[in-house]
Amino acid sequence: MDILSHLAMGFGVAMTPINLVYALLGVLLGTLIGVLPGIGPVATIAMLLPTTYALQPVSALIMLAGIYYGAQYGGSTTAILVNMPGETSSVVTCLDGYQMARRGQAGAALAVAAMGSFFAGCVATVFIAAFSPPLSEFALKFGPAEYFSLMCLGLIGAVILASGSIIKAIAMIVLGLLMGIVGTDVNSGAQRFVFDIPELVDGIGVVSVAMGLFGFAEIVSNLESKEKREVVSSKVKGLWLTMAQFRAAAPAVLRGTALGSVLGLLPGGGAMLSSFASYTMEKKLAKDPSQFGKGAIQGVAGPESANNAGAQTSFIPLLTLGIPENAVMAMMVGAMTIHNIQPGPQVITSNPELFWGLIASMWIGNAMLVVLNLPMIGLWIRLLTVPYRLLYPAILLFCAIGVYSVNNTSMDITLTAVFGLLGVVFVKLSCEPAPLLLGFVLGPMMEENLRRALLLSRGDGWVFFHRPLSAGMLTVAIVLLVITLLPNIRKKREEAFHEETA
């Protein structure tokens, strides 16, 4: 029972007072930004990344992870009570959750969301503990060629499962890869795209890119339209379920958890994809699909369980392969790099207390979320009444001081503002910024592995197809790409995304 002893060690790490405090801080912050529309986990993690310098790496990761899954809890609260998704992963929760609230069942909707999430979080924690060690052992056999192919597959997969134009998303990845190259080349020592700006010698900081594209751009876009927000049910009572509701919701929670756990593993997966897929599935399986959109409890239970499961299992590729599969995981790569931990299969063996401590903290964090959030819902609702005109300057201030404090230079803030401007342009042109961030984080790793693979093969590019594992991954990537670009499937795919967001 290796897992048990490992988990016991993990709980030992996660239960130390200091780590409990950071887990609590993380989930509280996560809930806060989940409740507040207009600021998501990526921007928040970017904001807090600089402040984790002084912490132990494990405490830092525990807090940052808490922000991600805490945001899934908070996002559902806003979706149910205000009919506005606090996070993109709660978009589908609005459909039925808000209708339940209008029928006076807000308490039941909130309760099922919280309990479904908790259940999913527990299952996902076990899932990570069981699957990560074998996967990372497998990945230790990877050579540079395999890694390069794996990154190609990961990036292509991320693009296919995201909505929007595929060619544009690939172009965004390439742009991200290029931006990741900025700075000193490790191999030759040559400075690339530095333009004699001393702050660029060490490359562009992930904090600047993420905060500009996801934080500043979002604020600017929000300010373009007048805000409209009304809290419908300010009084929530009866945070409990009737037996009938429980019976209706339980299978949906189980299905959502299973679906989310699996979808979280896929590149491009994570919370958002899981919740959308779960809603579609629940609607297809329902005896009476016409109830969906009118307050079906399954429409809340399934997606809310799925997004929490997906948020957590999306840590698996990061912790075992070192490959981030969505923008939040890209930020976690940044966090690990800051603390001199190279994400990859060696993390489990070289930093076992970090790995198992982080996993154990997820279970603790989920328990904290249930215990804290149900009684505190009144407080979160009151927070929603703070107008945006007071909120965004405060967010800006925290972002600005955070970015400045990374290196104590004003250049970093200017750079972040440039990325903010670029982010606004991307929003206007409907270009998704997430693939860019993935490419940005993977850029240096990808070049390094490409270089090494070709060095070993003496410049023979076919090396990627001569090694079976690498060939397999590249073939899958190419097949996926070709299939999605076929006119018929493309139409279907667009329809699917359209239906889900409509």
Partner 1 sequence: MAWMKDPKEFWSGVLFMVFGAFALLVSNGYAMGTAARMGPGYFPRALGALLVILGALVSLRGLRVEGESVPKFFLRPLIFVLGTVVVFGIVIPYTGVILGTLLLIFVSSIASHEFRWRSALVSGIVLAVAAVLIFIVGLKLQLPIWPWPWNQ
Binding site for partner 1 (CB under 8 A): 51, 54, 165, 167-168, 170-171, 174-175, 177-178, 181, 185, 187-188, 190, 192-193, 216, 219-220, 223-224, 226, 387-390, 392-394, 396-397, 399-401, 403-405, 408, 410-414, 416-417, 420-421, 424-425, 428-431, 447, 450-451, 454-455, 457-461
Return the number of the residue (378 or 387) whose C-beta is nearest partner 1: 387
Q: Which is nearer to partner 1, 220 or 250 (CB)?
A: 220
How far is CA 180 from each of CA 60, 203, 231, 462, rounded to the nearest angstrom?
Answer: 24, 7, 42, 26
| Residue number with CB closer to partner 1 (36 or 296) | 36
Is the separation of the CB atoms in 154 and 434 below 8 Å? no
Q: Distance between terminal CA atoms of the chain?
A: 48
> How many whole angstroms separate alpha carbon 331 and alpha carbon 333?
5
Q: What's the number of CA atoms in the CB half-sphere (13 Å) around residue 133?
A: 13
Q: In Å, how far from its chain's centre is CA 34?
A: 13
| Contact call for residues 74 and 85 (beta carbons, < 8 A) | no
Smallest distance from the beta carbon of 413 to partner 1, in angstroms?
A: 3
Q: Partners of 183 in the beta sheet?
A: 192
Task: Using the minimum distance from each CB to partner 1, give the nearer residue, 53 or 138.
Answer: 53
Tell me if 149 sits within 8 A of 464, measured CB to CB: yes
Smaller CB separation from partner 1, 126 or 411: 411
Nearest distance from C-beta of residue 33 to partner 1, angstroms? 16
Task: Please give the structure tokens belonging to residue 199.
Answer: 């702050």
Q: How far is the CB of 51 from partner 1 (least distance, A)?
A: 5
Burial of 85-109, coded b for 16+ CB within 10 Å and e otherwise, reads bbbbbbbbbbbbbbbbbeeebbbbb
Rounded to the nearest whole angstrom, what is the least distance from the CB of residue 221 to partner 1 in the complex?
8
**Rounded to an integer, what distance in angstroms lies between the CA atom of residue 5 and that of residue 202?**
41
Burial of 372 (0-12, 13-18, 19+ CB in 10 A): middle
CB of 371 to partner 1, least distance (A): 26
Nearer to partner 1, 310 or 444 (CB): 444
Alpha-helix residue ranges (DSSP H) falling in 83-105:
91-102
Give least dist CB 444 to partner 1, A.
Answer: 10
State the Cα–Cα distance between residues 483 and 106, nearest whole angstrom: 43
Q: How far is the CB of 174 from partner 1 (least distance, A)?
A: 5
Residue number with CB closer to partner 1 (371 or 394): 394
343, 333 contact by CB (below 8 A): yes
Q: How far is the CB of 401 from partner 1 (least distance, A)?
A: 6
Q: Closest separation between CB of residue 145 and partner 1, Å?
A: 13
Residue 320 or residue 416: which is nearer to partner 1 going by CB? 416
Residue type, 295: G
Nearer to partner 1, 171 or 231 (CB): 171
DSSP 121-154: HHHHHHHHHHHHHHHHHHHTT--HHHHHHHHHHH
